[in-house]
Amino acid sequence: MEHQPTGQPQVTNPRWIDRAGVLPSPASHDVLGLDTEFMRRNTFYPKLALVQAAYGEACWLIDPLAYDARADLRMLVGGRLCVMHSAGEDLEALAPLLSDVQLDLFDTQIAAAMCGMGPGLSYQRLVAGVLGIDIPKDETRSDWLQRPLTESQLDYAAKDVAHLAALHEKLSVELRRRGRSTWHAEDCSRLAQRPRSGIETQPQRGFPGAADWPPEVQARLKRVLLWRDETARKLDRPRPWILDDAHALALSQQPPATAQVLFDCVKGQRALRGPQRAELLGLLQQSATPEELASLAPIPATPRGEAKRAVDAMRAVVHAVAAKLDLPAGLLCPRRLIEEFAVTRIWPAPLQGWRTSLLEPELAPLLPG
């Protein structure tokens, strides 16, 4: 992507917003730069510490710790294109405040990858490469929950959104030149919907080692994993604090006969207290119902034999197509989805859309016989 160094946008001093009713509506601009700072401190949900918004020459630093910023954020994002960089975790942090808002997203990291600039490009490197501007990285690991924030933190937070509109302008031109605007919009829409999609309803599918377990045991594992997710959300604690993967697998295979046996097995789990152990024991000792067995989605096994050879052949095709298109192979088709397709013979949902016409005709003939 050709670029010319450019001067830094004339963004005014950021304004601190810590109460309702003082944030003006950005009526004259339809492109909003948006970012967040959040912390994960022994919680299930990321703790939203700051929201940065920029449009035109204005920049606002919104303090969600000081007031309920829900109405202000909905006003900001409503009807505007929200330009963000690597938005996945930011969207998760914003989800409680924007739970029913359909965000119109432009992710600059995805755009950069589709423009041939490589996968996972950082915001700092993208700004330097496209705009010729160097911005600091020294506050990346700051404590954003402290108050007051330091001048260095405030400056860092403002610069994280100051250049998003300019990046959008240049990357949009390149996406159009390459004929990939629709691809990018599709991926951004899928990303924006992810925090709204709710709880994973078939979590056992993430454990390929359980693929050959009897259906009754797979149903028990699914039941335990769903309970773990619900409990972690309710207590706002990390899933492994409730029950780590190793315990979930072991207990599902061999349910404890008594509460004491369960206590001896899980006494290292930091958030698993008496009431939760009682719930878990009841779930482990239940027999699988016909409804549970009927709703059980199969677990994709680890590819072996012919399936493994098919995966290798498919990966070679994906890499060849990616090289021809100047795309990262992982963006085009992650390995885990190749493996899932080779084992289940069902085209994976995340590959629906623009990837289908590019890849399915090439990969389907390689499925094991």
- Read off the pLDDT of each residue in 229-254 and give the average, rounded to a whole number: 96
Higher pLDDT, residue 78 or 2 = 78
Topology of domain 15-196 in CATH is: Nucleotidyltransferase; domain 5 (3.30.420)
Burial class of residue 129 (count of CB atoms within 10 Å of its CB; 0-12, 13-18, 19+) = middle
Q: Vertex 66, ends 88 and 123: CA angle to 5°?
A: 30
Q: Are 159 and 135 in contact (CB under 8 A)?
A: yes
Per-residue model confidence as pLDDT tens digits over 31-72: 999 999 999 888 998 999 999 999 988 999 999 999 999 999
Pairing status of strand 47-55 against strand 58-62? antiparallel
Which residues, 6+ apart, have CB-to-CB distance to 32 below 8 Å?
26, 53, 54, 55, 76, 77, 80, 81, 82, 83
CATH placement of domain 203-294: 1.10.150.80
Share the mean pLDDT of the chain: 93
pLDDT at 46: 92
Let me know: does 330 contact 119? Beta carbons within 8 Å.
Answer: yes
pLDDT band at 12 (very low <50, low <70, confident <90, very high): low
Question: CA of 335: how far to CAs of 145, 316, 317, 342, in Å?
Answer: 37, 11, 12, 11
Measured CA to CA in angstroms, residue 337 lies from 88, 197, 333, 348 at distances of 19, 19, 7, 7
Min mean pLDDT across 12-21, 165-174, 303-312 is at 12-21
Structure tokens at 195: 């925090």
pLDDT category at 8 given cuts 50, 70, 90 is: very low
User: Do residues 339 and 303 make contact, with C-beta atoms less than 8 angstroms apart?
Assistant: yes
**What is the tens place of the pLDDT at every residue in 171-203?**
999 999 999 999 999 999 999 998 776 678 999
Given a contact cutoff of 8 angstroms between Cβ atoms, the answer to whether 340 and 300 are in contact is yes
pLDDT of residue 4: 42
pLDDT tens digits, residue range 89-99? 999 999 989 98
Order the strands of the 104-107 sheet from edge to edge. Answer: 15-17, 58-62, 47-55, 31-39, 81-84, 104-107
Q: Where along the chain do its domains lie? A: 15-196, 203-294, 306-366
- The one-letter amino acid code at 129 reads G
pLDDT of res. 197: 67
